[in-house]
Structure formats: C-alpha cells, structure tokens
Structure 1
Amino acid sequence: MAEMTSPERLPHAALELSSRRLKALKIERLLNLAALPQPIRLLEIGCGAGGIAHYFATHPELTCHVTAVDMHDNRQVREGYDYHQVHGVELPFNDQQFDVVITNHVIEHVGDAQAQIRHLTEIRRVLKVSGVGYVAVPNRWMLTEPHYQLKFLSWLPRGWRSSYLRWMGKGEFYDCEPLEMGELEGMLAMAGLAYRNLCVEGWKTTFDIERAGQISTRVLTASPNGLLHPLRPLIPTLIYRVERTTS
C-alpha cells in the first residue's frame, strides 16, 4: 500500500514590513534587550519577510549579530543578517550558541505535538545558559483564526477544522496547530524550558505601540496586571519569556 503523506503546510509569512517593525519593537521591550550584555547573538526562527531580523541587525542602539532561518525564503529585506534555509525543526547550529532566540508565530506551523515539542527542545539546545527566548503563538481560543480569517475555526476539534475550511471556501487542509495556554506550558516544561507568562504584558505593550493615546490604551495600561491575569487564557496571542532550566 502506498505511503500516505500529509498535505504541505503553507508558510503563512507576514510580508508587510511596517508591521514587522512594530512586532520587533514589542519583542525588544518585553525581553528588555537593552539590559543584556552586548554584542547580542540573536537567532530568529521563521523569519518570513526578514523585517524582524533586519530591525535587530540594524538597530541604532543595540549591537546584535543576527541569524535567521526559515523553511521558505520569503524575505523582502536581506541586508545585515545571516540566513539559513532549513528543512524541519532541527537547527543547524551548535549547542548554546545564542543569547536570544525568537520564535514568533512559528510553532503552530511546524506540525503535530511531537514536532512542536522538538521545536522547543531545539530552542533550548541552542540557547546559552544565560540566554533568553521569546515564544509567541496564536491562542486556540481566539475568536477569529488569523491565518484564514474564520471565526471559531481553531475552537473546533482537529478532525472538523479542514471540513469547515472547505465548507467556507478557504482551502482544503487546515495546516496550523494553535495551542491553548495550559497545553503550551506543558510543552515548555517537557522541553526543559523555564517560562514566564507575558500575555498581559504583551497585550499592554501591543496597545501602547499600536494604539498610543487612545482611551482603550490608557484604561488597559492603568489596570493592574493582577486584575487582568484571569484573562490570560483568552488573550489572542500567548507570549512567553523562556530560559534553560538548570537540570
């Protein structure tokens, strides 16, 4: 019997460069990169258009030696950083090579749960003992799925999602695996990564960068983090600061 193969997963790269600059600024603030010793050896996994890699490589105040990898070369900007094309979750780098590792909306594209854990394990492997990582993924419980712009798509059981996609005329195969908060935290622990949940801080930072001066931003910023923590499982993007565990 012929071997069955899964449909190819699309890159879903965000190619609008101005949005990538805002995303990079958000990452810079949440990781407090200005406090790290320089130069910073930084790896971006899944660089897409190259906007985030270029932002850090050409930063006017931070000295970053930037490396970027992706399975598909969709770069719109190529200057200032090294690029490697990869063919899976394995990274072509030595152990403990980077001070900072960024994986921004990548883990939902790498495959099933086993591939996702392997992706996180590779982050741990290449991260220095003193290093810090940034992991962001769409929350399964977001109202509108961002890749196909369908409401409730990721709420459905996995076996129903592709059927819904076809029914809505959006494609044949749902090729993403968004995670819920407890699921992702379990994977981080299995991969040997200590983590800090930054969902609330990320939510506030996004509003501060993208909606500065608006009433909604002022209200959100003034709200104590502790008051907002119960909302973390529902915030559209799950964001974590990660480090290697000591064991």
Structure 2
Amino acid sequence: MITSMPERRPHAVLDAASRSAKALKIERLLNLVNRPQPLRLLEIGTGSGGIAQYFADHDSMRCEVVAVDVVDNRSVSDGYEFHLVKGVALPFADANFDVVISNHVIEHVGDVSAQAQHLSEIRRVMKQDGVGYLAVPNRWMLTEPHYRLMFLSWLPEAWRTPYLRAMHRGENYDCVPLTVPHLERLLGNAGFKHRNLSVEALRATFEIERPYTPGARLLRALPDTPLRMLRRLIPTLIYELHRPDNGAPGRG
C-alpha cells in the first residue's frame, strides 16, 4: 500500500501526429465504427489534444467529443469541448458518455485509493451500454517509459526514487504502473466487466505504426496462443471495459 506520493507532474505526449495513430488503434480495438452514432466520447487526460481532435474530425464516424485534463498542454483544440479538472472527479452527470478513454492516466492519478476513484468515476459517467478503454504501463516492462530507465518499476516502491536520483533522471518517481492481477482487482472492485486486449493491441500497434518492421512480420507469423501466455509481460496493459449488465464479453 502506498502511504504517500510525491508531487505529480504531467507526462503527456505532446506530439499530436503520434496521437492520431493511437486514436486509430483505440477505434479499431473498440470497433467504434460499428457502434450506434453519434457517439458521445470522453477522453480523460487529453494531453496534446490529438486523440480528441481525431475523433471530433473523423471522416466516417459522428462523435461529440469532450476532453479533460489537470493542465492545459493542448497543441490542437478545434472541434471538441475541453474542461480543466482537479484530481480524479469528473464534472459530468451519471451515464453521460458512450465511450470513455483513459489512455495512460491511471498511473499518474496517485495512490491505490485515487486509482480506485478514477475507475469509479469512469463507470459512473459511462452509459449502461457504453464502452471504456483503459491503458496503463505494465510494472514488469523492461524500460520504464516516462524516465527511460531499465527495471525502474520492478524495484520496491521505496527504492525507485533513489534509483531515479542516482541516474540523474529526476528527483521523485511519481508514477504507479500496475500488474495484471492488481489492475484486474481494481477493475472488479469498481464493478467493471473487462477484457484484456493487450495481445490485440500489440498487433494493432505494429500494423498501424511499424507495419514493415521485423517485429510486425514476426507478430503476423505467431498465433495468439503463445502471445496470450505472455500477456502479463506485454509492456502496455490494455483493457476494454463494460458495465456488468450490458451483455458485453466477460473477463478474458
């Protein structure tokens, strides 16, 4: 249990062009083009605004896009509604959105209690037949993505900041990456049905962003079964979320 957390800093990816590729991956993984439209879509932690604008300007889907963040780092702002927020509380009525996206946000919100509240708020604002997308770095990734240090998140919590300082990469480690069991307990406690999409997301990432690389060719040759055996080690954990009584797929 984390008893205290250092001051948290924004770690938003501000390259709007890369956010379009990320948004396309989200669109495909959630099969959004086949959901009834218009879609009312919420992005939590909008960063550059690239994902929000992608859906707002989509050429075949009709999306009403709302985005929130604790700071305004947007480089693109047209076509969607934006709100500054404090903490994890969302300033929206219950059952307000068809789609809720939390892309690399939960590791930044604070301790276990704050993470649980973040998930509770997602569920609260999601419509009964809505869908959620949650992505978070896997604690067991080899290289921590925010500070580019190998094995940083593997260490016990008390050792992470000293390691960061010793390597001259920062003063405080302010992220909380999760493991599959920990995340799935949080999702269950929040009342979500969930499906692990990490294998599908890994394939989609290479097909969209690096289609001609050796990694993409290797993934095309591998069946899902061996990849699913290793999904607890995939660097990014990605889940599809549903409220429990909407007939969506269960855990997987």
Alignment TM class, shorter chain as reference: over 0.9
Return 5+ residue gaps in structure 1 as ranges. none
Deviation at 1:211, TM superposition (A): 1.3
Name the CA distance, whole Å, in 1 between partners of 2:242 and 2:34: 16
2:5 and 2:110 in contact (8 A); partners too: no
Match of 1:148 in 2: 147
Deviation at 1:6, TM superposition (A): 4.9
The 5 A counterparts of 1:75-90 are 75-90=74-89
Name the CA distance, whole Å, in 2 between partners of 1:44 and 1:232: 25
The number of residue pairs the alignment matches comes to 244
2:45 and 2:103 in contact (8 A); partners too: yes
1:164 maps to amino acid = Y
Match of 1:208 in 2: 207
> What RMSD over aligned residues (CA atoms) do the two structures have, in Å?
1.4
The 5 A counterparts of 1:10-159 are 10-159=9-158
Name the CA distance, whole Å, in 1 between partners of 2:34 and 2:221: 25
Match of 1:234 in 2: 233
Name the CA distance, whole Å, in 2 between partners of 1:61 and 1:222: 32
Deviation at 1:7, TM superposition (A): 3.4
Name the CA distance, whole Å, in 2 between partners of 1:114 and 1:7: 15
Match of 1:174 in 2: 173
SS at match of 1:154: helix
Deviation at 1:226, TM superposition (A): 1.9
Name the CA distance, whole Å, in 2 between partners of 1:135 and 1:215: 28
Name the CA distance, whole Å, in 2 between partners of 1:234 and 1:187: 19
What percent of counterpart residues are identical?
A: 61
Match of 2:249 in 1: none
TM-score by length of 1: 0.96
Match of 2:164 in 1: 165
Name the CA distance, whole Å, in 2 between partners of 1:221 and 1:47: 32
TM-score by length of 2: 0.94
2:5 and 2:174 in contact (8 A); partners too: no
Return 5+ residue gaps in structure 2 as ranges. 247-252
Cα deviation 1:84-112 (Å, max 9, x = unaligned): 00001010000000000000000000000
SS at match of 1:196: strand
